[in-house]
Amino acid sequence: MACSVRLTQCQLLVWQFLQSFWHACHLSICRSQAMFHKHMLIRNSLLSTQQQMMDSTWQTSQDGIPNLHSIYNR
């Protein structure tokens, strides 16, 4: 009887350890996903700003270079 009680206590300890381990992993995964999402948002906004600057540069160029949009949108 004492052996089985000791076994269940051991199982309980292992179960608690696994639960806390999973909880910590889940938290770190969520945190890294949030950081990745924030990074992608920042990256996308920077890229769109850069693209807008490039577009305005091409549209306002007066040195005889044809507008890229007029070339590709035919």
Q: Which residues of the chain have pLDDT under 70?
A: 1-7, 55-74
Residue 33 falls within a domain, yes or no?
yes
Q: What is the pLDDT of residue 62?
A: 52
Residue 74 falls within a domain, yes or no?
no
Domain span holding position 25: 1-54
Residue 63 falls within a domain, yes or no?
no
Supply the Cα-derived Rg of the chain in whole angstroms. 29
CB count in 10 Å sphere of residue 58: 15
Q: What is the pLDDT of residue 55?
A: 67
Q: What is the SS3 string spanning 21-42?
A: HHHHHHHHHHHHHHHHHHHHHH
Residue 71 falls within a domain, yes or no?
no
What is the value of pTM for the model shown?
0.40
- What total number of domains does the chain contain? 1
